[in-house]
Amino acid sequence: MNNHSTLIFGATGATGKYILQEAIKQGDKVTVFVRDAAKLDASLRSRITVIQGDLTDKLAVSKVVRDTKPTGIIVASTPPRKAPIQNLNAIAVPVIVETLAQQQWLPQTNIIYLGGIFTLPKDEAPTFFGQVIKYILSSLIGLQAQIADNDKVADYLYSSSHKDLRYTFVRMRLPEEGSSRGKLVVSDATASTIAFCDMAEFLVGVSHELGSAIGKAVVVAYQK
């Protein structure tokens, strides 16, 4: 057991289940906030604290942050594909940040948000071609709700007035099942797909130490 207390939102999702396993593997004290606790791996429940709730419930989200006093928060929750456009993480993330600010915990808590590749970094202007590709692919795959939610979270984080806010917005490339393919690092290098387990290892590692990625939206690729 190390000194890290990790709070995970979305621990039953495609990437979230790997994040949960990795956080336990690294010896973190883990709390998960999930809508349906029955979806958690039964073999892991005795090793974590499980809080059942909804991300749109501001009081519940604030309470789990206050009760946990985490050193790392990983948000891997996402609206389901082809869901109607609605706020999910765009509700929860501001509550998380404001609760940390109220408790004066912002300087000691790393917030890691797992978003999509279509959400641009703060200072990068969208191109016409990029917007067209974003619209076509999001429509075909049914990602409109996810992209809209990610964009709202990014706008909030980018414009936050909290100077001691420690966050990293990870723009995830196409994930896939499978064994580890190596170490991920912050890089603009081309990577067509990334293994879920490798992304989980990267996210948990970054939640322990943000380093130069504080206050940035980043993409990752395999270290060469």
* Average confidence (pLDDT) per 10 residues, the chain, 224 residues: 90 96 97 95 94 96 97 92 79 98 95 88 75 73 83 94 94 90 85 89 90 80 88
Report which secondary-structure segment, H or E, holds 49. Answer: strand 49-52
d(CA 184, CA 160): 28
CA distance 160 to 72: 19
Which amino acid, residue 61?
V
Q: What is the model's pLDDT at position 59?
A: 98
Q: Which two tokens stand for residue 103?
A: 């408790």
- Helix H or strand E segment including 95: helix 89-102
- Please report the pLDDT score of residue 84 as a whole number: 73
- Check: CB of residue 19 under 8 Å from CB of residue 76: yes
Residue 143's pLDDT is what?
76
Strand partners, 34: 52
Q: Give the pLDDT of residue 89.
A: 96
The pLDDT, as a whole number, for residue 79 is 82
Cα dihedral across residues 72, 219, 33, 178: positive or negative: negative
User: Residue 204's pLDDT is what?
Assistant: 96
Give residue 27's pLDDT: 95
